[in-house]
Structure 1
Amino acid sequence: MFKLFDFSLKISGFPIDEARLEFDNILEIPEASYESYILGKRKQIVDFHLKNNPFYSQLASGKTSDQWDALPVLTKKELQQPLDLRLSQGFTAKNVFVNKTSGSSGDPFIFAKDNYSHAMTWASNMYRFGWYGIDFNSSYQARFYGIPLDFIGNKKERLKDFLSHRFRFPIFDLSDPILEKFLGHFKRKKFDYINGYTSSIVLFAKYLERKNIILKDICPTLKVCIVTSEMLFEKDKALMEKQFGVPIVNEYGASELDLIAFENQKGEWQVNAETLFIEILDDAGQPVPHGTQGRVVITSLYNKAHPFIRYDIGDVGILDPKSTFKKPILKQLTGRTNDVAVLPSGKKSPGLTFYYVTKSIIEDDGNVKEFIIRQTKIDSFEIEYVSDVELTLEQIAKIEDAISLYLEPNLKFTFIRKTSLARTNRGKLKQFQSLIKS
């Protein structure tokens, strides 16, 4: 069979065959030797950038690869300068893969990967999706993502969809008539898997629940649903499993890096330890013990074009105590460092705590389709929601009581009913947002 996806990577300059061979060799490294592999690759990539990347060499300020804990922790703000100032010698914007982060962290920037590093990213993706019988060359994807609305950007994305064997469901309008059209495609097309933003796929599952439809009954080829980019709550996961009739897999990644963690068949969030090295650090930049919450800091072991060494991705997480060098397990991802609510008492709480407490009440009767929470002042919040009918005073009081109990009393809430919620230009729904300057 002609492998169109592999061919599209090769003609774009990404040596997927070589990368897949190296990736397979990494998988064969035994547990006992894996720490040596990681430490060796870590040293190699730091030494390369100290020698060939003036931007990183200046940041390192005389530190060497043997002083790992003293190396600087890179932030997104430090990377918000012209790309050509950050590229290693021998690399230009014309001979690397260039892209832009989504900006969901509030700090978007342009980044680069050398072609071999980008091929390793695809080898990593292929391996993990393969756990669930998905082959990018032959499996047909139902893609729940945004899409550029300008003519050229739209056509480019459609071409990529064709080469990647996927059909895109644009997610800027998720009203019932549009979801009915989505359902029609599942009746006609032999999709192997669903992939896309969590909130949009949850909305589709809720629509199927109202219609009393199990998706696999009308699309028997469907094998798995893989959600990404937004928090997946257990209640939503259970709903999707029921309405889709297939396993729901949670993916955690970053466009500038790779897949960071991918749910394995045991339900563990297995960290990518083949192309990345992941640390959990405290606010002072020191490693914390497994089982302790801290900042997620990642080193890309193969990217020579651009340094992502001890790169603070902006997330807060916990590694499972049973993690090893070969098989780290992400026990919990608790949110983004910039999605923290600072309350009048001085208490700091992850914004998703508000979202989770509210969610446990607001969606009980199926009236509310989706909602977002926005902190406007230190004691004031707006909750925008989409629903069939307006929330009652009794429901609002119940939400306020729950937040008083779980967080603190005397907070003020404004409830705003909308016909749809604003998403980013890529289609993400930012579930909690603080407008308070830290």
Structure 2
Amino acid sequence: MQTGEVLRRVVFDLLDAAKGGRLKKLKEVNKREIVEGVTEEYMDRRIHVLLDYVKEHSPYYKDHPEWTELKDFPVMTKGDFIENYDQVLVDNSEEQGKLYRLSTSGSTGTPFTVLCDGDKMSRVNMNFISCMELNGFRMGMKRGEFRAWIKGKNTISKWKSFKNNLIMVDISNMGDDSLEKICQDIEKKKIQVLVTYSSALTALTQYLRKTHRDISKWDVELVFSMGEALPQETYDLTKELFGFSPVRSYGNNENGFIAIQLDEDPEYTIDLYNFYPEILKLDSDEPAEEGELGRIVVTDYYNKTFPMVRYDTGDTGIMRMYKDPKGRVHGKYVEIYGRRGSLMYNTKGEPLSIHVFMNTLLKFEGIVYQAKCIQWGEKDYELLVNADQEKLDIDEVLAAYRHYLGEDAEIKVTYVDEIPIQASGKFMVCENKWDGRK
């Protein structure tokens, strides 16, 4: 246990206690409800409170008094929310105090920013800590967050990094030189928790195996995987290398963590305290049968600024709901699909994270609606662009992509009205069609 960890935990507890201990209470309730389940009364009450609220305050829902039950409300994709953004936004948002931005481009390549109030932001943060603590995390531990960090867009200040004991681990490039530096930083900076996307964890563990690196002196106690589905091979290799299993999670930037793996349970335990989950048929908005693969749809109970009712996440999965002997309701995602982006390579043959392409799009939010980078050869790429061409500076967009692909990348631009959807029901922000690297 590091000194900095203990000090930060003490400071957090003292500051929270001075404000009535709200965050700690929220965290403990969240943890308890994830493990012990919720009551049917809680789920019914939260849904009806939310639906009454949106029909009173959201212009999008105001004109439909006939929508009384959740099943009456339309299923909304990310594109639907973007198209109707101003109407979904509540009319009392200016009275809610400071608002926070939850931004993502997502694996589907559509930039999206959700506004929320301080209460929802606290819930997102405590939801994250709750999911971590249920798997051995201790408040204040030094964590390395693996992302494609973009200066001026998603990087954090030195003060916030110090306060949260957070190290920014850049995964824009996952070639051997970059992975070597990441390994050195993990050891030198005594990082205790790796919070990483599946693709980055796959690249890191394969590099560790290839180089036979001695990690016995590392301080890492927890590996937390998020984003795209974690391959079983990576799960097993991580356990072999570190001596413990990584934690699988499911969620997004718009809502927070929706489900979490507990212990080594192969299923994901759904957070029924914060969300109402549904699985709908692939070709209609009817509920999927038990055990049937369908679309993952969630309703967020607590965003009172930009309410997300029946949000189609773009992912597919299989869910089971059941009651325990005490009558409490539990939800499990038996399987989760989607977020399996093709592995792309730069002109040097080095692998690139899918999140490079996702975060590049954040720079052009509001101008580029969708984009997809396709690799056709060693240095040959095609960029499908759905954008406002009057505002678009294509040279600036190409420069942003070449920053990661390589200055010698040959990029053909194809303007489209919409990115073609794959058979899975999703379109990806990148795709590798080069036989040499498939």
Partner of 1:272: 271
Given candidates 217, 227, 230, the residue that maps to 2:228 is 230
CA distance in structure 1 between the partners assigned to 2:313 and 2:40 by the alignment: 23
Kindly state the Cα deviation for residue 383 of structure 1 after the two structures are TM-superposed.
6.8
Q: Secondary structure at the match of 1:125?
A: helix
Deviations 1:209-232 (A, max 9, x none): 1121253x021x311111111221
Mapped contact 1:195–1:225 kept (Cα < 8 A): yes
Partner of 2:126: 123
Partner of 1:246: 244
Mapped contact 1:273–1:327 kept (Cα < 8 A): yes
Kindly state the Cα deviation for residue 369 of structure 1 after the two structures are TM-superposed.
7.6
Mapped contact 1:372–1:383 kept (Cα < 8 A): no
Counterpart of 1:269, as a letter, is Y
Partner of 1:174: 174
Partner of 1:207: 207
Partner of 2:387: none
Counterpart of 1:21, as a letter, is K
Matched, 1:21 2:36: no
Counterpart of 1:224, as a letter, is L
Cα RMSD of the aligned pairs, angstroms, is 3.7
Partner of 1:334: 337
Which range moves more in the overlay, 84-93 or 72-81? 84-93
CA distance in structure 2 between the partners assigned to 1:258 and 1:235 by the alignment: 26
Counterpart of 1:56, as a letter, is Y
Mapped contact 2:275–2:298 kept (Cα < 8 A): yes
Partner of 1:62: 65
Deviations 1:368-405 (A, max 9, x none): 985899xxxxxxx967689xxxxxxxxxxxxxxxxxxx
Kindly state the Cα deviation for residue 253 of structure 1 after the two structures are TM-superposed.
0.9
Mapped contact 1:56–1:307 kept (Cα < 8 A): no
Deviations 1:19-45 (A, max 9, x none): 542453466679796111111101101
Mapped contact 1:297–1:312 kept (Cα < 8 A): yes
Counterpart of 2:338, as a letter, is G
CA distance in structure 2 between the partners assigned to 1:16 and 1:171 by the alignment: 39
Partner of 1:47: 52
Q: Secondary structure at the match of 1:328?
A: strand
CA distance in structure 2 between the partners assigned to 1:383 and 1:5 by the alignment: 54
Counterpart of 2:290, as a letter, is H
CA distance in structure 2 between the partners assigned to 1:31 and 1:204 by the alignment: 35
Counterpart of 1:98, as a letter, is R
- Name the CA shift for 1:97/1:40 in 2 (closer, same or farther; >3 Å): same
Task: State the percentage of identical aligned residues.
Answer: 21
Partner of 2:116: 113
User: Unaligned regions of 5+ residues in structure 2, if any?
Assistant: 1-5, 344-348, 355-373, 380-403, 407-427, 434-438
Within a 5 Å distance, the mapping from 1:250-265 to structure 2 comes to 250-265=248-263
CA distance in structure 2 between the partners assigned to 1:191 and 1:103 by the alignment: 27
Deviations 1:109-129 (A, max 9, x none): 221112112211222211110
CA distance in structure 2 between the partners assigned to 1:76 and 1:169 by the alignment: 28
Q: Secondary structure at the match of 2:331?
A: coil
Deviations 1:210-267 (A, max 9, x none): 121253x021x31111111122111121122222333211111111112011111032
Partner of 2:312: 312
Q: Secondary structure at the match of 1:297?
A: strand
Partner of 2:290: 290
- Name the CA shift for 1:175/1:25 in 2 (closer, same or farther; >3 Å): closer
Counterpart of 1:97, as a letter, is Y
CA distance in structure 1 between the partners assigned to 2:119 and 2:352 by the alignment: 41
Kindly state the Cα deviation for residue 432 of structure 1 after the two structures are TM-superposed.
4.5
Given candidates 80, 104, 107, the residue that maps to 1:104 is 107
Question: How many pairs align?
Answer: 353
Partner of 1:339: none
Kindly state the Cα deviation for residue 310 of structure 1 after the two structures are TM-superposed.
0.8
Kindly state the Cα deviation for residue 96 of structure 1 after the two structures are TM-superposed.
1.6
Matched, 1:77 2:102: no
CA distance in structure 2 between the partners assigned to 1:301 and 1:154 by the alignment: 26
CA distance in structure 2 between the partners assigned to 1:297 and 1:107 by the alignment: 18
CA distance in structure 2 between the partners assigned to 1:79 and 1:433 by the alignment: 29
CA distance in structure 2 between the partners assigned to 1:322 and 1:25 by the alignment: 21
Q: Secondary structure at the match of 1:62?
A: coil
TM superposition score normalised by structure 1: 0.70
Deviations 1:24-70 (A, max 9, x none): 34666797961111111011011111111112324xx33333x2212
Q: Which fold has the larger relative contact order, with Cα–Cα distance below 8 Å and residues 6 or more apart in sequence?
A: 2
- Name the CA shift for 1:176/1:318 in 2 (closer, same or farther; >3 Å): same
Kindly state the Cα deviation for residue 278 of structure 1 after the two structures are TM-superposed.
0.6
CA distance in structure 2 between the partners assigned to 1:290 and 1:132 by the alignment: 29
- Name the CA shift for 1:70/1:385 in 2 (closer, same or farther; >3 Å): farther
Partner of 2:147: 145
Counterpart of 1:262, as a letter, is I
- Name the CA shift for 1:165/1:323 in 2 (closer, same or farther; >3 Å): farther
- Name the CA shift for 1:297/1:16 in 2 (closer, same or farther; >3 Å): farther
Deviations 1:126-148 (A, max 9, x none): 11100222134x10112211111
Q: Secondary structure at the match of 1:190?
A: coil
CA distance in structure 2 between the partners assigned to 1:113 and 1:76 by the alignment: 16
Partner of 1:197: 197
Kindly state the Cα deviation for residue 154 of structure 1 after the two structures are TM-superposed.
6.4
User: Unaligned regions of 5+ residues in structure 1, if any?
Assistant: 337-350, 359-367, 374-380, 387-419, 423-428
Mapped contact 1:320–1:328 kept (Cα < 8 A): yes
Q: Secondary structure at the match of 1:237?
A: helix
- Name the CA shift for 1:433/1:326 in 2 (closer, same or farther; >3 Å): farther
Counterpart of 1:183, as a letter, is C
Q: Secondary structure at the match of 2:318?
A: strand
Q: Secondary structure at the match of 2:124?
A: helix
Kindly state the Cα deviation for residue 333 of structure 1 after the two structures are TM-superposed.
1.2
